[in-house]
Structure 1
Amino acid sequence: MDDIEIFQRMGLAIAIGAAVGIERHWREKDEEEGSRTAGIRTFTLIGLLGGVAGLLEHFLARPGGIPGVVLVGFLVTLTAVFAVFQLREAIAEKNYSATSVVAAVLTFALASVAVLGSMTVASAGGVVLVAVLASRDFLHASMRKLRWSELRSAVILLALTFVVLPIVPAEPVGPFGGVSPSKSLIMIIVLAAISFCGYIAVRLLGSARGEIVAGAIGGVISSTAATISNARRSTSDDLARPLAAGAISAGAVSMVRTSFLVMMLVRPLAAQLLPVLFAGAAVMLVYAVLLARRSAPKHEEVLPKNPFDLNEVVKMAFVLVGVGFLARAASEVFGDAGLLVASGLSGLADVDAVTVAVSGLLPSLSAQTAFLAIAIAVLSNTLAKAVYASIFGTMAFSAHVWKASVMAIAVAALCLVLLRLL
């Protein structure tokens, strides 16, 4: 390291300590001088100490020696001394917490990383550390409000994502491209995540605004899954309107997402497709907002007992995976000439696959055929979600989804006609 790099790294180490110190000092700003164990000066010095320890480790390291001896010595000494002072303060105030000790150790470690390792990692770690410390009141309040069903659902979702998914094979099984076990599990995780996000949004914002936000999140992931999930939950007329608003907003976001994919992957078709997609999305979004405004609860809202029902989630995932398999089978049977048929079948589950497939075929595919393939997929997906709403949801829920879908299709078709005339 040259002198300029050393100054840069030492500056970052000191900045990390100062940032943590500001948060610690502000939290005890009303305390008298000398009554705080550690504030801005102490933590700034801890950052400096970590940087100096890192420099000593760097310059004193010898080939064949034991790495980390200097750092460990400084860290053990700092932890012992700081813990003693923190313990005396805790006994005096009868307020037992190890947060400041852990914060001091982390500040020292991050300062050392800033000197010896990645400055990006060190700065990101410092930001996360300050954010966690500053979020104490919010985190404590959240834990007091947390219910067992929410915690259990979050644990199940995390286990499926980080424990089960990595060990599930990804290789497809079966004919026509087969079905990938890992992709099927990903669909289950997506559906469960949509339901969980919807539950949290409704709890934080209320049924009307919460379902709009949850639907928008679901539309980014899978509007079809969001529609089926909301349909399953529409067990009464009081729930039908806000849930329908969420499903419709998911459809609007899905059209916007398809527009971005077209701009990125199928740019030659952007002039034809974007106005049509944006017109349909605008109609659905306006309908969803107006419906949500009429959905103010007449009595106290009752949340479902579980953020998601895993059995129902698995059933819905199998439906979507099965539809995707049938679409691939049709494409294999009919060949290139069956692209439009395959697009319609793929639209029963998702539009993204068709958009990506068309982008790969576009150099050898006519613009008209490519346009029809994506348009058919969007039309099929919009109508399929209305059908799913009728199958899985109540009559009131499906009626709103059908109205919004038909209006969006009509306006999009009118926009297309005007474009062709112009």
Structure 2
Amino acid sequence: MEEIELFRRLGLALAIGLLFGLERGWQARDEAEGTRIAGLRTFALTGLLGGICAWLGTATGPVFLGLAFLGLAALVAVTYWAQLRADDDLGLTTEVAMLLAFVLGAAAVLGDMAAAAASAVVATALLSLKRILHGWVAQIRRFELAALVQLAVISVVILPVLPRQGFGPGQALNPHDLWWAVVIVAGLSFLGYGAMRVAGAGLGAVITGLLGGLASSTSTTLALARLVRDDARLAPLLSVGIVLAGAVTFLRVMVVATIFAPGLLGALALPLGTMAATGIAGAGLLALSAGRQKKTPTGLDELSNPLALGTALSFGIVLVVVILGTHYLRQWFGESGVYAAAAVSGLTDVDALTISVAQLSRGDLSSQAASGAIVLAVAVNTTVKGAMALVVGGRDLGLRVLAVYAAALAAGALTLALRP
């Protein structure tokens, strides 16, 4: 290794230690001098020590680096034991961070510098986010944690062993693709659900709408409409959240379709993108008309956990029914049957139809017909949500939402009509 390269790598090892030490020193800034296990200088020296030991290990063999790490670990263990006797502090964060600084310092010399630097930045971010991360953990409900574990097991353990071949009529049912669809949709849903649970709906209708669109735009519409039914003064503000949830759904459908059939992106980008842009613009106008109203939604208990095992399995069953129904309708009526399936499916669930049509488009269904069916399902589903806002939330809320939805659907229809 050339001298300049060695100095660069040792400099990175020192910088990694300084980064760790800066964060740990700031966290312990109120403690008296001499009472801290490690601060800025100690961490900087630890990172540099890891780099130097790695450099020496290239000449003496890997055993030297291993012994150096064990020696540092023993020193850290003794220090931790002494601290434990003094103040009963069971925290191991600083001690683990010191060992990590040594390892990343060594990695900076022996391995990829970019990977070592990135790992150090991520580790420092985790160290600095202690209160936020603990706050998130405190808000997790037991059934939500259980649902996450269940999904991890059935996706990471079961998904890889499912057969990747078609079964049933026309070999339309592929177990691996079916369960992968459940994982994708449930994961997108839980992303919005979890963010809303952590952030809280009290941040306002805008955040509620954006995150609710990922979780479930239908559930979000129903939840916000019920709030308006209890307090009609919330209609101008909560109409913004409902419309934003619908706009996010347009983008969500495009993402889901593209995952299962990347070739559909070109056909769906313009109509669904235009509909989403129209919805966002309409939400902006509704927000301006809402003025300075500050009351925000607080009760969104109607949103169910989308990763509950029963919910995931229910979606899988719906997906199987929609795939079979679309297969038979297309077999009997051609492309008209696909459109009929889209119109019916849009009354309840648009994700299942999107995945079913996306799979067909990988065969002999044209991208134009597939994108038209998906947009039709989205249009029917959007109309249902607008009607729900009108019936549940009342005339003021319903007319605001329906006006924007009508503009979005008209924009989508226009783009479909004008495309080559």
**TM-score scaled by structure 2?**
0.73
Give the partner amino acid of 2:118: A
Distance 2:265 2:175 in 1: 33
Q: 1:202 to 1:83 in 2, by over 3 A?
A: closer
| Contact 2:279–2:408 (CA under 8 A) maintained in structure 1 | no
Distance 2:91 2:266 in 1: 61
Query: Are residue 70 (structure 1) and residue 64 (structure 2) matched?
Result: yes
Give the partner amino acid of 2:64: V
Deviation at 1:312, TM superposition (A): 3.6
Counterpart for residue 250 of structure 2:
255
Give the partner amino acid of 1:164: I
Give the partner amino acid of 1:162: V
- Of residues 325, 340, 345, the one that matches 2:341 is 345
Q: 1:283 to 1:374 in 2, by over 3 A?
A: farther
What are structure 1's unaligned runs of at least 5 residues?
62-67, 219-225
- Of residues 212, 216, 226, the one that matches 1:237 is 226
Two-structure CA RMSD over aligned residues (Å): 4.6
Counterpart for residue 318 of structure 1:
317
| Contact 2:219–2:303 (CA under 8 A) maintained in structure 1 | no
Deviation at 1:227, TM superposition (A): 3.9
What are structure 2's unaligned runs of at least 5 residues?
230-234
Identity value in percent? 26
- Of residues 106, 109, 126, the one that matches 1:112 is 106
Residue 169 of structure 2 aligns to a residue in which SS?
coil
Deviation at 1:44, TM superposition (A): 0.8
Q: Deviations over 1:175-232 (max 9, x none)?
A: 23422223333343345441573255055322653531323434xxxxxxx245557x
Counterpart for residue 25 of structure 1:
25
Q: 1:266 to 1:90 in 2, by over 3 A?
A: closer
Counterpart for residue 221 of structure 1:
none
Counterpart for residue 212 of structure 2:
215
Deviation at 1:378, TM superposition (A): 1.0
Distance 2:15 2:24 in 1: 14
Counterpart for residue 327 of structure 1:
326
- Of residues 91, 101, 115, the one that matches 1:121 is 115
**TM-score scaled by structure 1?**
0.73
Distance 1:311 1:107 in 2: 44
Distance 1:33 1:361 in 2: 73
| Contact 1:114–1:123 (CA under 8 A) maintained in structure 2 | yes
Counterpart for residue 147 of structure 1:
141
Query: Are residue 81 (structure 1) and residue 75 (structure 2) matched?
Result: yes
User: Does 279-288 or 103-112 show the bigger shift?
Assistant: 279-288
Q: Deviations over 1:271-312 (max 9, x none)?
A: 974885356434664588689x989578x7373696344324
Counterpart for residue 232 of structure 2:
none
Give the partner amino acid of 2:317: F
Matches within 5 A, 1:3-402: 3-61=3-61, 68-193=62-187, 194-195=189-190, 197-198=192-193, 200-202=195-197, 204-206=199-201, 209=205, 210-218=207-215, 226-227=216-217, 230=220, 234=223, 237-238=226-227, 248-256=243-251, 273=271, 276-277=274-275, 280-282=278-280, 285=283, 296=295, 301=299, 303=301, 307-308=305-306, 309-331=308-330, 338-339=334-335, 341-342=337-338, 345=341, 348=345, 349-350=350-351, 351=354, 370=368, 374-384=371-381, 386-387=383-384, 395-396=391-392
Deviation at 1:140, TM superposition (A): 3.1
Deviation at 1:105, TM superposition (A): 1.2
Residue 95 of structure 1 aligns to a residue in which SS?
coil
Distance 1:159 1:294 in 2: 45
Residue 176 of structure 1 aligns to a residue in which SS?
helix
Q: 1:28 to 1:200 in 2, by over 3 A?
A: same
Q: Deviations over 1:47-105 (max 9, x none)?
A: 111111211222333xxxxxx31121001101111222233234333323222221111
| Contact 1:287–1:404 (CA under 8 A) maintained in structure 2 | no
User: Alignment length, in residue pairs?
Assistant: 394
Q: 1:344 to 1:115 in 2, by over 3 A?
A: farther
User: Does 46-55 or 249-258 show the bigger shift?
Assistant: 249-258
